[in-house]
Chain A
Amino acid sequence: MIDAYWPILMIVFVLAVVMTIAPGMIWLERRMLALWQDRYGPNRVGPFGLLQVAADAIKMIFKEDWIPPFADKATFILAPCIINATTLLAFAVIPFGPGWHISDLSVGLLFFLAMSSLGVYSVTLAGWASNNKYSLLGGLRAAGQMLAYEVFMGLSLMGVVMMAGSFRISDIVEAQQNVWFCIPQFLGFFLFFTAGVAETHRLPFDLPEAEAELIAGFHAEYSSLKFGMFFIGEYIGITLISALVVLLYFGGWHGPWFHPVVWFLLKVFFFLVIFIWMRASFARPRYDQLIAFGWKLMFPLALLNLMVTGAVVLAMR
């Protein structure tokens, strides 16, 4: 009986977990940023300000949902849906524990890469449909940044794929029984994490939004729940990248004492905090610096990592 309903149960479970983490991140981010900036952060609503999330949601829902008359209406509405759809779809191949997955695709990693590449349409279309100079600049930046960082993101993952011999994420996790891939694949981890930060356009790679220069970049014209969807989409994206870093480089659900799912979520939480920590620490680079960094440093490093790993894997065989 439970076997038949297991996929449906997993869908509910994954949705519940992701949709709890994403708004929870709003609170966590504000509190953690405050912690690192010698402030308290939201501590008024509910215990530790936890109900701030509910207050924010209520505020966002009841704000006027305004579509600018000069915007391309259909695309304008479609854009925030894409980022949520793609990031949530990518969670279909994320195993939370042994057997705790919606679908264990044999090309799970490729599926993730495809979905994260599709996500850029959201940002670019949002910038374009807003029909606003700043939004368009933000969208263009997002497109250029994704192009630069998507390439070596895929290449950096190939080291892991070669070592595990599979694109299936659960196989990759099983291959880390003895040693986590973050040790032999440290460069790959570094490259993937950097690309992941750029992929979710978080600081220091948040040039598509860049409050100081582009007011809010691609979502400058968005209000109410449409803005909320970008917001949540971004946090789901962060969770996705954290989950993948854990699965591919930090042994996924492996760990002593606790249930595998608990271990997985703990590790994901750790990386979520690192995302916030980076936001608290770093300044935003110039756009040409960002692109040069991607193409001239990270891309060759990814190729080097690929070749060395390939050579070592061949020699070990």
Chain B
Amino acid sequence: MLSLLRTMWIIFLHMFHKRETQEYPDVLPQQPPRWRGRIILSRDPDGEERCVACNLCSVVCPVACIALQATEDGHGRRYPEFFRINFSRCIFCGLCEEACPTYAIQLTPDFEMGEYNRKNLVYEKEDLLISGPGKYPDYNFYRVAGLAIGGKGKGEADCEEPPVNTRSLMP
């Protein structure tokens, strides 16, 4: 009987405790920067698309929500002709971000993606592409890769030696 009264007293004291509620729409939660939310496609520091349309994200995606079509521009740069993420299937596992060799696809802390129409959850490239480099501000795939494209020949990348002429005897 006394324990019941004690219980009631303890519960009464809870009136003066701090509230646990997060008042979400009024007070936005502090999200860690690596939170796996809405997916974006980033650009390199020069403002070009980072995505090289290698299809790794599409392959690794466990729910197969990424679809893209590769194409090539006049400089020999590969880029996606279309890039489509169906967010009604996406499970925000972040595997696409891990698979991406060029840091193009990135997950952001934004999670407010509610829609009244399911079709609106299919994001096209123009919805996904942002204007900046995202989480990796200095990375430029074509600046560190050995691949020759228009305006950058073999051996002109950062930390890259000019190609050695293997048929020459000269050092």
A: residues with CB less than 8 A from B are: 35-40, 277-278, 280-282
A280 & B21 in contact (Cβ 8 Å cutoff): no
Q: Is B170 an interface residue (CB 8 A)?
A: no
- Write out the residue numbers on chain A whose beta carbons fall within 8 Å of the beta carbon of B14: 35-38
- Write out the residue numbers on chain B whose beta carbons fall within 8 Å of the beta carbon of A277: 8, 11-12
User: CA of A11 to CA of B82 in the docked complex: distance in angstroms?
Assistant: 72
User: CA of A39 to CA of B10 in the docked complex: distance in angstroms?
Assistant: 16
Q: Is B28 an interface residue (CB 8 A)?
A: no
In the complex, what's the smallest C-beta–C-beta distance from B1 to chain A, in angstroms? Answer: 10
Q: Is B113 an interface residue (CB 8 A)?
A: no
User: CA of A278 to CA of B8 in the docked complex: distance in angstroms?
Assistant: 7
Q: Is B4 an interface residue (CB 8 A)?
A: yes
A40 & B23 in contact (Cβ 8 Å cutoff): yes
CB-contacts of B1-27 with A (<8 A): 4, 7-8, 10-12, 14-15, 17-21, 23
B19 & A40 in contact (Cβ 8 Å cutoff): yes
B19 & A281 in contact (Cβ 8 Å cutoff): no
Chain A residue at smallest Cβ distance from B13: A36
A281 & B21 in contact (Cβ 8 Å cutoff): no
B: residues with CB less than 8 A from A are: 4, 7-8, 10-12, 14-15, 17-21, 23
Chain A residue at smallest Cβ distance from B7: A281
- Write out the residue numbers on chain B whose beta carbons fall within 8 Å of the beta carbon of A37: 14
A-B contact pairs, 21 of them (CB 8 A): A35-B14, A36-B12, A36-B14, A36-B15, A38-B14, A38-B17, A38-B18, A38-B19, A38-B21, A39-B20, A39-B21, A40-B19, A40-B21, A40-B23, A277-B8, A278-B8, A280-B11, A281-B4, A281-B7, A281-B10, A282-B7
Interface SS, B side:
helix
In the complex, what's the smallest C-beta–C-beta distance from A187 to chain B, in angstroms? Answer: 13
Which residue from A38, A278, A282 sits with its C-beta under 8 Å from B20? A38
User: CA of A278 to CA of B9 in the docked complex: distance in angstroms?
Assistant: 11
- Write out the residue numbers on chain A whose beta carbons fall within 8 Å of the beta carbon of B4: 281-282
User: CA of A40 to CA of B17 in the docked complex: distance in angstroms?
Assistant: 12
- Write out the residue numbers on chain A whose beta carbons fall within 8 Å of the beta carbon of B21: 38-40
Chain B residue at smallest Cβ distance from A33: B11
User: CA of A51 to CA of B19 in the docked complex: distance in angstroms?
Assistant: 22
- Write out the residue numbers on chain B whose beta carbons fall within 8 Å of the beta carbon of A39: 19-21
In the complex, what's the smallest C-beta–C-beta distance from A234 to chain B, in angstroms? Answer: 21
Chain A residue at smallest Cβ distance from B6: A281
- Write out the residue numbers on chain A whose beta carbons fall within 8 Å of the beta carbon of B8: 277-278, 281
Chain A residue at smallest Cβ distance from B5: A281
Of A36, A39, A40, chain B has the most CB atoms within 10 Å of the CB of: A36
Of B8, B11, B14, B21, chain A has the most CB atoms within 10 Å of the CB of: B11
- Write out the residue numbers on chain A whose beta carbons fall within 8 Å of the beta carbon of B10: 281
In the complex, what's the smallest C-beta–C-beta distance from B4 to chain A, in angstroms? Answer: 7
User: CA of A85 to CA of B93 in the docked complex: distance in angstroms?
Assistant: 56
B11 & A36 in contact (Cβ 8 Å cutoff): yes
- Write out the residue numbers on chain B whose beta carbons fall within 8 Å of the beta carbon of A282: 4, 7
In the complex, what's the smallest C-beta–C-beta distance from A131 to chain B, in angstroms? Answer: 38
Top 9 nearest A-B pairs by Cβ distance? Answer: A281-B11, A281-B8, A38-B20, A40-B21, A281-B7, A36-B11, A36-B14, A38-B17, A39-B21
In the complex, what's the smallest C-beta–C-beta distance from A38 to chain B, in angstroms? Answer: 5
In the complex, what's the smallest C-beta–C-beta distance from A24 to chain B, in angstroms? Answer: 20
- Write out the residue numbers on chain A whose beta carbons fall within 8 Å of the beta carbon of B18: 38
Given A281-B7, A281-B8: A35 in contact with B20 (beta carbons within 8 A) = no
Given A40-B21, A40-B23: A35 in contact with B7 (beta carbons within 8 A) = no
User: CA of A35 to CA of B20 in the docked complex: distance in angstroms?
Assistant: 11
In the complex, what's the smallest C-beta–C-beta distance from B94 to chain A, in angstroms? Answer: 32
In the complex, what's the smallest C-beta–C-beta distance from A87 to chain B, in angstroms? Answer: 26
Chain A residue at smallest Cβ distance from B17: A38
- Write out the residue numbers on chain B whose beta carbons fall within 8 Å of the beta carbon of A281: 4, 7-8, 10-11
In the complex, what's the smallest C-beta–C-beta distance from B13 to chain A, in angstroms? Answer: 9
User: CA of A282 to CA of B5 in the docked complex: distance in angstroms?
Assistant: 10
In the complex, what's the smallest C-beta–C-beta distance from A45 to chain B, in angstroms? Answer: 14
- Write out the residue numbers on chain A whose beta carbons fall within 8 Å of the beta carbon of B11: 36, 277, 280-281
User: CA of A36 to CA of B11 in the docked complex: distance in angstroms?
Assistant: 6
Chain B residue at smallest Cβ distance from A277: B8
In the complex, what's the smallest C-beta–C-beta distance from B92 to chain A, in angstroms? Answer: 27
